[in-house]
């Protein structure tokens, strides 16, 4: 991270050494020696060598990654933007948000702080997203791909992806469905090296040094589980390269992380929620194809509009006679899945809608499928979006009173 380049080497190394001797010690509950071990010394020397080799514009490169790649913001970090008045809306804590809170243990906080102290906070924050960068930049559809930590959602999601492609009236033949797993990336210095080199445009030598430092730090903290903590994969997103971005060869992608599915399974929605989330992300591909991201709205309201529309697209497919044909018994868990991923981050440009709004948008989508006079007829996607636009003011109407 570049900002560290403005600090003295002595202060940087002292900070890294302090984190190594105190935070790691707290995580392991073992007394720590105040004497620098040979392993610690090698780690510090490698860290110093990495920092010496970083380009002066490292911070700019770190901060431009998400913008350049067009990856949606992770639920673990938020950007402050113009606020929707939170006093206008009822917004409750969901079981999923409580589960997320429960995964953020004191040991985990110590680990993240330790990595931030040693590698710099901006670079450490980008490290959390390395698994999704790896999937986006280097992933490809393959029979060896698996979804879920143990592959438990592989058949479910690959089968639904085929159904989604048949259902919606866009050219979806080249949309790839890809997983991302934390442990896979962080267990390989070579994979870390290629991600770092691709993201930041550094030399092979610098990428190798940085990759080894990341590997060492991830595996120094047991609470991170070698990268298998859901922190690293609590996301799912749709990607479509912008013309002129230099990423056109990647094509359209939907990328599903283990952490999201782990969280939904933990609160009892493991059998339906992954399908609902995939339907939602495919809804974003429908939006990309139809240029539906453009509107007169800005900030949080603009994001809320596209996210609620994708919820509606998902349940329209899930309940349609020619879609996933969920019956009433299985519909409720699907609707509750969207409720669970609602948020109260009214001041964030990444605000996706309150739990109630997401639930109601999903109900609207399922009602639209049920109300069709010709049960086998699939409405054109632009018709669905037009009908949704008319309903949006009702869906987001203040409901605090």
The pLDDT, as a whole number, for residue 119 is 74
Domain boundaries, the chain: 1-60+115-128+182-227, 135-179+230-401
Confidence of residue 79 (pLDDT cuts 50, 70, 90): very low
pLDDT in tens, 208-235: 888 998 999 899 999 999 999 998 999 8
Of residues 259 and 333, which shows the higher confidence score? 259
Question: Does pLDDT of 199 surpass 70?
Answer: yes
Over the chain, what is the mean pLDDT?
A: 80
- Enter the tokens of residue 62: 């770190």
- Distances in Å between the alpha carbon of 56 and those of 51, 200, 370? 10, 12, 58
Q: Which residues are paired to 133 by β-bridges?
A: none
The pLDDT, as a whole number, for residue 22 is 30
Distance CA 117, CA 160 (A): 43
Q: What burial letters (b/e) apply to 176-215, b meaning 16+ CB within 10 Å?
A: bbbbbbbbbbbbeeebbbbbbbbbbebeeebbbbbbbbbb
Confidence of residue 3 (pLDDT cuts 50, 70, 90): very low
pLDDT in tens, 274-300: 999 999 999 999 999 999 999 998 888
Decide the pairing of beta strands 236-239 and 253-257.
antiparallel
Question: Does pLDDT of 184 surpass 50?
Answer: yes
Across residues 191-202, what is the average pLDDT?
88
**By mean pLDDT, which of 101-105, 160-164, 294-298, 326-330 is the weakest?**
326-330
This prediction's pTM: 0.81
Q: Which residues contact 318 (CB under 8 A, 6 or more apart)?
A: 275, 276, 279, 324, 326, 331, 334, 366
Containing 26, the helix (H) or strand (E) segment is helix 9-28
Across residues 340-357, what is the average pLDDT?
80
Of residues 348 and 299, which shows the higher confidence score? 299
Confidence of residue 327 (pLDDT cuts 50, 70, 90): confident
The pLDDT, as a whole number, for residue 100 is 85
> At which residue do the structure tokens 């960068």 appear?
133
Highest mean pLDDT: which of 117-131, 168-182, 224-238, 355-369? 168-182
């Amino acid at each position: 991270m570049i900002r560290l380049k403005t600090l003295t080497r002595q202060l940087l190394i002292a900070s890294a050494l302090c984190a190594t001797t105190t935070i790691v010690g707290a995580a392991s509950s073992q007394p720590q020696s105040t004497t620098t071990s040979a392993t610690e010394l090698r780690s510090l020397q490698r860290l110093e060598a990495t920092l010496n080799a970083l380009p002066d514009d490292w911070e700019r490169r770190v901060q431009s990654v998400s913008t350049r790649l067009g990856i949606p913001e992770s639920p673990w970090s938020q950007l402050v933007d113009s606020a929707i008045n939170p006093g206008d809306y009822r917004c409750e804590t969901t079981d999923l948000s409580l589960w997320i809170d429960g995964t953020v243990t004191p040991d985990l906080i110590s680990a993240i702080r330790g990595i931030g102290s040693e590698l710099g906070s901006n670079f450490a924050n980008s490290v959390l997203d390395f698994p999704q960068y790896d999937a986006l930049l280097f992933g490809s559809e393959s029979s060896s791909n698996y979804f879920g930590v143990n592959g438990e959602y592989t058949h479910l999601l690959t089968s639904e992806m085929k159904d989604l492609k048949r259902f919606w009236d866009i050219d979806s033949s080249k949309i790839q469905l890809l997983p991302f797993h934390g442990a896979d990336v962080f267990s390989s210095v070579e994979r870390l090296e290629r991600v770092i080199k691709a993201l930041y445009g550094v030399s092979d030598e610098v990428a190798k040094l940085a990759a080894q430092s990341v590997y060492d730090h991830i595996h120094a903290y047991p609470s991170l589980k070698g990268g298998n903590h859901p922190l690293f994969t609590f996301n799912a997103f749709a990607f479509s390269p912008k013309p002129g971005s230099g990423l056109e060869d990647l094509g359209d992608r939907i990328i599903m992380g283990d952490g999201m599915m782990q969280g939904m399974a933990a609160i009892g929605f493991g059998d339906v929620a992954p399908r609902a989330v995939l339907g939602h992300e495919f809804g974003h591909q429908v939006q990309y194809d139809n240029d539906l991201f453009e509107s007169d709205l800005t900030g949080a309201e603009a994001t809320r509009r596209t996210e609620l529309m994708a919820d509606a697209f998902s349940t329209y497919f899930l309940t349609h006679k020619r879609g996933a044909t969920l019956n009433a018994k299985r519909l409720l868990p699907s609707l509750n899945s969207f409720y669970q991923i609602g948020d109260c981050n009214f001041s964030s440009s990444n605000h996706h809608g309150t739990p109630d709004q997401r639930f109601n948008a999903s109900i609207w989508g399922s009602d639209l499928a049920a109300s069709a006079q010709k049960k086998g007829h699939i409405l054109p996607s632009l018709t669905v979006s037009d009908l949704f636009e008319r309903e949006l003011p009702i869906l987001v109407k203040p409901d605090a009173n």
